[in-house]
Amino acid sequence: MLMEPPFGYRLTEAEKDALLLEQAAVIERMAVRISELEAALKGKPKKTSSNSHTPPSQDGPERPNRKRSPIRPKRPRPSRPGVSRPLSEKPDKTERRMVGACPHCGTDVSGAVQRCRHRYDHIDLPAIRPVVTRVELLGGRCSDCGRRYRAEAPEGMAPGTPFGPGIRSLLLYLHHSHHVSFERLSRMMAELFGLSISEGAIANGFRRAGAALTTARAAIKDKLLAARMIASDETTTRIDGVTHWQWVFLSDQAVLHEIAPRRARSVAEEVLGDYRPEVWVSDRYAGQQELGQRHQVCLAHVLRDVQYAIDCGDTVIAPKIRDHLRWAIRVGKRRSELKDSTLTAYAGKADRKLDALVAVPAAHPASRKLQRQIKAWRTKFFVFLADRDVPPTNNISEREIRPSVVFRKVTNGFRSDWGLRSMPDTAPSPVPLASTDSRTGTPSAISSMETSPSPDNAHRHPREQLRCHGCGRCKPELCLNVCGPDSLDRHRRAQQPPR
């Protein structure tokens, strides 16, 4: 309510009293309104890692410390035998030392019978040096047809690059799993192994791995699509400053990573094709729905939403749903000890109690919202109680995608498409992907690839001082590491004066 200003600047005593009373009434109404707004704001707690998908790093300094158990009186620790490194069952070499003279009196004891008084293992690494094999392909000219001939190259030693699969697999492993940059890789090879290899040669070696990785990816995908249960999750990654999505699909035999510019359901459909697994495990993201015959949602994500309802002030329904879901997860951990009939009884009990909790009339808005969410996913909560192989949460997918998240945090993503394809598990497909078989390991899959000549020498750049338009640095080796050789070549051509 707006007050009309008094006419003129001179007011009588009665007019001043009336104006003060009117202002006091407006102030009182505004104070009441402010209190209502503050109460509404306090009703919505801050979303943290315990009640939402927010990572713990964004909780802020006001995050309460984890509750510790009350201090108990210390009890004397029971004694137990010491533990030491066991001796190797098959030592490579045994060194037996005998005493020639008594250390106390100097008597010659070399001819006396001596027994082992002390036995231990000494472990060390020998000096690792590259093995250089000179390959000479002999040939001549045929006396019959007059054409030249030359011997075939040995297997695994084709011309085109002097570096074998063992060196390439080690470089790929260090770069991908331990996030070692190209510059440091070059230094490590020189200082540890006495091998001089440039950063450009490392980049070319990563390119040559593409064909073998494509073959390995196809085998991993075939193994994935033969599984009866597939779990999936997705996270963000950066390519050339643009946000992309990295998907992970895993079974009990294989793990497949896909990086796509979108988070749509079509990414999973392109991987699966016409195949639909018996069970699909994921969170409640819409793009993960209806991809399997049955669907188990991650109960850890549901518990976070339940905790948010509790933080909003729901003290009736949300705590009961939380306790019920925790009970179901505890039962799932004991599935190997339970009979089929007992597990079936537990599954029926879980469904009946959850139905009852959803049907309870809720007075709190957070309770009603939580009930609507549970009704929308009602048939996807307790699939793990009917199938012993299905986990109650999607933690297996999050563990598999964790190394990629660490790589993103350390390197801040990829500066170019070439950087993405240089990953050890990357296949040069229209949708860049990283594919690994977690049961066999990446290095062993890479070390089996064959060497083939590749026209990559065009990317060897001179060492003149250039300034990269992408990263603003002036050293070619730094641009090669950050932006990739294709990007550096583009920057070098852009600096040339026009003809």
Q: What is the pLDDT of residues 347-390, one digit of tens each?
A: 999 999 999 999 988 888 888 889 999 999 888 999 999 999 99
Q: Say if CB 224 and CB 251 are below 8 A apart.
A: yes
How far apart CA 165 and CA 39 sit, in angstroms, is 66
Measured from the Cβ of residue 146, the count of other Cβ atoms closer than 10 Å reads: 7
pLDDT band for position 312 (cuts 50, 70, 90): confident
CB 150 within 8 A of CB 139: yes
Question: What pLDDT, in 10s, does the model give residues 411-453?
Answer: 877 776 766 665 544 333 323 333 444 333 343 343 333 333 3
How far from chain centre, in Å, is Cα 340? 36
Tens digit of each residue's pLDDT (9 = 90 or more) over 253-307: 999 998 889 889 999 999 999 999 999 999 999 889 899 999 999 999 999 999 9
Strand partners, 245: 236, 260
Per-residue pLDDT of 218-266, as tens digits, reads 999 999 999 999 999 999 888 888 889 999 999 999 999 988 898 899 9
